[in-house]
Structure 1
């Protein structure tokens, strides 16, 4: 994108936007490399990230919620989960209080593969942040929080505006 760069602030905004774009592209390349190594596609990778994020938050995700998050039909989610489960990336756990409810969790094998692949990136990330003070990291955290919210808001607006595809008649 092209922004005016007449002031220091405009230059900083443009530089930050360009850095975010480059970061996003590089992150996608890394994610696709992981997916390719393990026979996954882009949707599989997004599903694994959603499962991981939910576990980190302490609120395991259900298949229905995963479908909402990925904008997939229930049939597509079932096929996706079956594929990831067969490959050892996720497992289905029944809720102990309501056996009808299923939670998706990262399987040990899938977690081990991800740790092995992403550990060097984690080390680089830790090293990159090591020279920042806690106050600086607080500012970066606040910035990233609002940027992620803005991106998700835009994504949701695009999804809502997308016309429904015509369904093929069933026989």
Structure 2
């Protein structure tokens, strides 16, 4: 078992402050997602699936039911229920994979995209406004930092 890390230098203190800021940001994101769940009348897993699909869509990636199960750490049966629920509500569509006739992919419906952005749009505007005081180089550093944190937290780095 690792012992609690204690900062021993000015650099360590800065790292600790950065980690505290990351936790505060994560807490703010949790709060925002709680509000979105209420706004969209969805449970946490359903909203997490939509967020995953939006992120993968922005990256140009196809999403399989298995990828959703893996990302959300839920069983195949739970994934089927989630997909049935979100398909019935009009938020998802199941389609044939574009290059593998045996496989299926899950995509956001136009309703889901419009619903998500309608509820999230004001929050995105406030986030963009918060960035106005940062230079392009500072924003690039933030992008690099967050990408590194994503890799560190996913265990892929």
Task: Report the TM range for the smaller structure's normalisation.
Answer: 0.7 to 0.9
User: What displacement does 1:120 show?
Assistant: 1.3
Answering whether residue 76 of structure 2 is matched by residue 77 of structure 1, we say no
**Distance verdict in 2 for CA 1:127–1:38, change over 3 Å:** closer
Partner of 1:12: 14
- Structure 2 residue corresponding to 1:47, chosen from 41, 46, 49: 49
Higher relative contact order at CA 8 Å, sep ≥6: structure 1 or structure 2? 2
Q: Deviations over 1:51-81 (max 9, x none)?
A: 1111111112011111111122211111100
Cα RMSD over matched residues? 2.0
Does 1:30 pair with 2:32?
yes
- Check the 8 A contact 1:85/1:91 in 2, yes or no: yes
Cα distance in 1 for residues equivalent to 2:125 and 2:36 = 17
Q: CA deviation at 1:96?
A: 4.1
Which residue number in structure 2 is paired with residue 63 of structure 1?
65
Any idea what SS the aligned residue of 1:104 has? strand
Query: 1:1-171 alignment to 2 at 5 Å?
Result: 4=6, 7-153=9-155
Contact 2:40 2:119 in 1 (8 A): no
For 2:11 and 2:84, locate their aligned partners in 1 and report how far apart those are by CA, in whole Å: 49
Secondary structure at the counterpart of residue 150 of structure 1: helix
Asked if the contact 1:3–1:10 (Cα under 8 Å) also holds between the matched residues in 2, the reply is no
Distance between the aligned counterparts of 2:154 and 2:100, measured in 1?
Answer: 32
CA gap of 1:123–1:38, structure 2 versus 1, over 3 A, is closer
Return the TM-score normalized by structure 1.
Answer: 0.80
CA distance in 2: counterparts of 1:76 and 1:4, whole angstroms: 41
Deviation at 1:97, TM superposition (A): 4.1
Count matched residues: 153
Structure 1 portions without partners, runs of 5+: 157-171
